[in-house]
Amino acid sequence: MEKEVVTISKFKATCLALLDKVKRTGQPILVTRRGEPIAIVSPPPEPEKTESWLGMFQSRGKIVGDIVSPILDQTVWEVLKE
C-alpha cells in the first residue's frame, strides 16, 4: 500500500479535502515537514459488527394458544357499554 506524501503546508490548506480522500480511498497520507515525516493520516479501523438483538430468543420461547383473538369478550369492556 503506497502512501501519498503531502507537505504540512499543503495539508493545512487542504485538510478537509485530504481527509475526505482518505475516507473515500482508504489509502493513508504521509504528512512531512521539510522532508521529514511527522504524521500519517489513515482511515479508522472497520467497526466491529455486533450481533443483532432481534431474534435473539427465537429458540427459547413457545407460542401457546391463540395470540390473535382478544382475551376477554367485548361485553366485559366498560368503555363499550355506553
The pTM of the full predicted model, rounded to 2 decimals, is: 0.56
| DSSP-derived secondary structure for 27-56 | --EEEEETTEEEEEE-PPPPPPPPPPSTTT
pLDDT at 1 over 60: no
- Could you give the CA distance from residue 41 to residue 18 in angstroms, rounded to a whole number? 9
Confidence of residue 3 (pLDDT cuts 50, 70, 90): confident
> Which helix (DSSP H) or strand (DSSP E) does residue 7 occupy?
strand 4-7
Domain covering 4-41 assigned CATH 3.40.1620.10 in the classification: yes
pLDDT at 78 over 80: no
Average pLDDT, stretch 11-34?
95
pLDDT at 8 over 80: yes
Q: Note the pLDDT of residue 81.
A: 67
- Could you give the CA distance from residue 81 to residue 6 in angstroms, rounded to a whole number? 79
